[in-house]
Amino acid sequence: METDETLSVASKVKFKDVANLLERIAKIDDAPTSGRGPGKTDAKKTKLESFMQTLQSIADKLRPQAVKIDENFFPVMRLLLPADDRRTYGLKEVKLAKALCENLCIGARTDDGQKLINYRAPVHMKSSDGDFASVAYFVLKNRCQEANTITVHEVNHYLDVIATQNARGKEGQKDVNDSIKHLLVSLSAIQLKWLIRIILKDLKIGIKEATILDAFHPDAMDVYNFTSSLEKVKYQNFFLNNNF
């Protein structure tokens, strides 16, 4: 865990802020377009750039407080680009549905339980288009409390545990289940919606990785193409120092 001597941006950013960012970006597709205004891709990029500026502001405020500051934005980037994140969770919709039922006291045979388990059934597809995360949100929105405390650092910690222990097979299953439970009971419905999409590696926000990386830094896509690693694209002064 972190100490007062080492502070990180990821430990100061709430996961709810990432979820809210993704929700705002997703809603741009629902808004009517205007010939005079910016295109939807530009509007999404503007929100991303604003969020990146917020991260930099957090880093700037941390500097006087810490002997060492980790300005690594990689923990945030891997949540925004889950398809490019190398973690493998071994979790698909059916397993997530069962975990939600077990940990949030939803009977598997109840209407809500069946909506989760049979999320692709035609009767449930009207408002969700067969998207499991959307079905989960509608089932959970009146069940989950508004959670505001869990950080990006903590979410990544538990996702790391799930990925690492999943690779151990049956021996790691208890740690996998414990980590899933901690996340499920710690997040609000809207945060769970985006966590599920991160785990399933498809955010469905209609934006290419190049746009997200460009919002981070104009050279980020070039570095990613060269290294094939998000972890290499991690410091804002990274490109100035040519330290790759």
Q: What number is the average pLDDT over the span 169-195?
A: 95
The dihedrals phi and psi of 122, each to the nearest 5 degrees, come to -50, -35
Query: Is residue 159 within 8 Å of residue 140, measured between CB atoms?
Result: no
pLDDT of the residue at 222 = 83
Angle, CA of 164, 165 and 171, to the nearest 5°: 150
pLDDT at 154 over 90: yes
pLDDT at 240: 35
Q: What does the pLDDT average to over 179-196?
A: 95
Distances (CA, A) of 52 to 20, 21, 195: 14, 11, 20
Q: Which residue has the higher pLDDT, 68 or 83?
A: 83
Give yes or no for residue 243 having a pLDDT over 50. no
Distance CA 219, CA 243 (A): 13
For range 201-220, the mean pLDDT? 88
Q: Which residue has the higher pLDDT, 143 or 231?
A: 143
pTM of the model: 0.88
Determine the Cα–Cα distance for residues 202 and 100; give it in Å rounded to an integer: 19
Residue 236 confidence (pLDDT) above 70? no
- The arrangement of secondary structure in 93-199, i.e. its CATH architecture, is Orthogonal Bundle (1.10)
Nearest one of 49, 51, 45 to 16, comparing CA atoms: 51
- Residue 6: in which H helix or E strand, if any? strand 6-8
Position 182 pLDDT exceeds 90: yes
Residue 103: other Cβ atoms inside 10 A: 15
Q: Which two tokens stand for residue 239?
A: 């490109």
Most confident of 22-36, 38-52, 93-107, 113-127: 93-107
What is the predicted pLDDT for the residue at 128?
Answer: 57
SS3 sequence of 123-172: HHCCCCCCCHHHHHHHHHCCCCCCCCCCEHHHHHHHHHHHHHHHCCHHHH
Q: How far apart are CA 190 and CA 188, in angstroms?
A: 6
Q: Is the pLDDT of residue 1 over 50?
A: no
pLDDT at 242: 39
User: Which residue matches tokens 């999943």?
Assistant: 166
| pLDDT single digits (tens) 107-142 | 999 999 999 999 887 665 555 567 999 999 999 998
Give the mean pLDDT of 174-200.
Answer: 95
Domain assignments of the chain as residue spans, ordered by start? 6-86+206-241, 93-199
Predicted local distance difference test score (pLDDT) of residue 216: 83
How far does CA 230 lie from the centroid of its chain?
Answer: 15
Is the pLDDT assigned to residue 152 strictly greater than 80? yes
Task: For 8, list phi and psi in degrees, rounded to 5.
Answer: -125, 155
Residue 100 has pLDDT above 90, yes or no: yes
In eight-state DSSP terms, residue 30 is T
- Across all residues in the chain, what is the average pLDDT? 85
Q: Cα–Cα distance between 166 and 174 in angstroms, integer?
A: 10
